[in-house]
Every structure is written in C-alpha cells, then in structure tokens.
C-alpha cells in the first residue's frame, strides 16, 4: 500500500460517513417535523402551512 492509496481510502471513509450522517439526519428529521406539525394542528389549531 502506498501513500496515494491510503489517502484515497481516507477520502472514501470520510465521504461514506458524510453520506451516512446525512441520511440518518433526514430520516429522523422529516418524520419529526411532520409529527410536530400534526401536533400543532391538533392542539393549537395552527394550519400546516405556517
């Protein structure tokens, strides 16, 4: 293994982790926003679009 190959492996790991973290954030954040909007709609009568 030469230095160029190690550098490429580090970049691949960083890129993979970035994609994983982004996917997890979207997967948790989107349902949370929808649930929050439903809660506000039911409890406070605020429209979805506000």
Which pTM was predicted? 0.65
pLDDT score at 1: 58
Question: Using an 8 Å Cβ cutoff, are 15 and 7 in contact?
Answer: no
pLDDT tens string 4-48: 788 899 999 999 999 999 999 999 999 999 999 999 999 998 887
pLDDT of residue 7: 87
Query: Would you kindly state where each structural domain of the chain is located, as residue ranges?
Result: 1-50
Write down the pLDDT at residue 18.
98
The H-assigned helical ranges of the chain are: 3-44
DSSP 1: -
């Amino acid at each position: 293994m030469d230095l160029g190959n190690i550098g490429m492996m580090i970049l691949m790991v960083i890129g993979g982790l970035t994609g994983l973290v982004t996917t997890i954030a979207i997967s948790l954040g989107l349902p949370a926003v929808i649930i929050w909007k439903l809660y506000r709609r039911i409890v406070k009568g605020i429209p979805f679009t506000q």
